[in-house]
Chain A
């Protein structure tokens, strides 16, 4: 391949992941009583597959698009109101999370076990940003914030991380970055 394709391809893949993260908010898979949403899985996958730099760019573009007013956030919402709203911490937390996931996965050699560790660390970052934000927005206690904003999702997260590790292994050979 010659000319622009080499610089073009990473950009196209990054936009593809922006779209996947958006769609992820709408793909629900009913497992147990709470249907799980795949959005944060695609955020973590972006870190694994695009790497730290492009993964961060990907989430930044996603937040920018939502900030600019396209209804890409969960529930078809958008705008500064949502980003600064009670659940805005989770959205902003995606930014450091994808970076952490990307860096860890890279240093651990892009193997399934390392990927799982990287994604677990990424998830911790998301909650580290989301839960305190939730606590302040609702002016609730720490216990309540954790039990409303973190505990119900942990099982689903574990499932998603396991699935993402399998997916990353299968997709990486297809992605010529």
Chain B
């Protein structure tokens, strides 16, 4: 078995009001595509924010390459790229190019190298033609690709996405699934929090389900969990409800 990239060890985060997360134990291996599913308020976002030490746990710890994430926060944040739910409030730059350059600038990478990497990343995310635009004028799908470009440019080992399909129309969602699964096939480790698994379940290698009390309730391969999702508060994909094991178009 390969060494785990990320280990979450008895992680608990209690809030004074409302639910937190309790006693989460989890190991993430390189190349995995993990769906983190569960109803609203089950603590998916809270769990994710612990991965790169944006918040401190009440007890337990998260280790990256065997070292606690809190021991080298910059390393943790560079290694674990995070795409937040609301695209509008995570875009910092006033042009598309500057937005992607923000991360590398923080790491004090020399300017010529930044220019090269940003140009490359924009091309990869199909945003080159928008380089001089104000991000506020982009479409929902373009904004989402921009936020992914903004972390991809820092060469993360793990990409974490929080509800990436929120407020996206069908074509943009489909395109996004394509981009993410392509990244995964290139070896990128992906963790995606979502309450809608239908679109991505066939690309994922593993599903983790949290219950409404903030605990892990299921952890397994997508094909094994099909048919049990509704019981955990996650909408069953259409093909599974119709009795198929795999979407008909893939059999």
Chain A residue nearest to B55 (CB atoms) is A1
Does chain A have a CB within 8 A of B67?
no
Q: How far is the CA of A3 from the CA of B53 in the complex (A)?
A: 9
User: B73–A3 contact, CB under 8 A?
Assistant: yes
**What sequence of 0s and 1s flags, for each residue 70-84 of chain B, a beta carbon within 8 Å of any chain A beta carbon?**
100100000000000
Q: How far is the CA of A2 from the CA of B70 in the complex (A)?
A: 9
- Interface size band for A: under 10
Q: How far is the CA of A2 from the CA of B56 in the complex (A)?
A: 8
Q: How far is the CA of A114 from the CA of B56 in the complex (A)?
A: 38
**What sequence of 0s and 1s flags, for each residue 49-88 of chain B, a beta carbon within 8 Å of any chain A beta carbon?**
0000101100000000000001001000000000000000
Chain A residue nearest to B74 (CB atoms) is A3
Q: How far is the CA of A3 from the CA of B76 in the complex (A)?
A: 13
Chain B neighbourhood of A3, CB < 8 A: 53, 73
**What sequence of 0s and 1s flags, for each residue 1-37 of chain A, a beta carbon within 8 Å of any chain B beta carbon?**
1110000000000000000000000000000000000
B48 to chain A, nearest CB (A): 16
Q: How far is the CA of A3 from the CA of B70 in the complex (A)?
A: 10
Q: How far is the CA of A1 from the CA of B53 in the complex (A)?
A: 9
Chain A neighbourhood of B70, CB < 8 A: 2
B84 to chain A, nearest CB (A): 14
Q: How far is the CA of A3 from the CA of B106 in the complex (A)?
A: 14
A57 to chain B, nearest CB (A): 19
B156 to chain A, nearest CB (A): 18
B61 to chain A, nearest CB (A): 14
B4 to chain A, nearest CB (A): 24
Chain B neighbourhood of A1, CB < 8 A: 55-56
A7 to chain B, nearest CB (A): 14
Chain A neighbourhood of B56, CB < 8 A: 1-2
B209 to chain A, nearest CB (A): 29
Chain B neighbourhood of A2, CB < 8 A: 53, 56, 70, 73
Chain A neighbourhood of B55, CB < 8 A: 1
Q: How far is the CA of A96 from the CA of B209 in the complex (A)?
A: 56
Chain A neighbourhood of B73, CB < 8 A: 2-3
Q: How far is the CA of A2 from the CA of B77 in the complex (A)?
A: 13
Q: How far is the CA of A2 from the CA of B69 in the complex (A)?
A: 12
A5 to chain B, nearest CB (A): 8
Q: How far is the CA of A3 from the CA of B55 in the complex (A)?
A: 10
Q: How far is the CA of A1 from the CA of B13 in the complex (A)?
A: 13
Chain A residue nearest to B106 (CB atoms) is A4
B122 to chain A, nearest CB (A): 25
Chain B residue nearest to A1 (CB atoms) is B55
Q: How far is the CA of A20 from the CA of B149 in the complex (A)?
A: 29
**New A-B contacts (6) at CB < 8 Å, excluding given A3-B53, A3-B73:** A1-B55, A1-B56, A2-B53, A2-B56, A2-B70, A2-B73
8 A-B pairs (CB sep. < 8 Å):
A1-B55, A1-B56, A2-B53, A2-B56, A2-B70, A2-B73, A3-B53, A3-B73
Interface residues, chain B, CB within 8 Å of chain A? 53, 55-56, 70, 73
Top 6 A-B residue pairs of the complex, sorted by shortest distance between their CB atoms: A3-B73, A2-B56, A2-B53, A2-B73, A1-B55, A2-B70
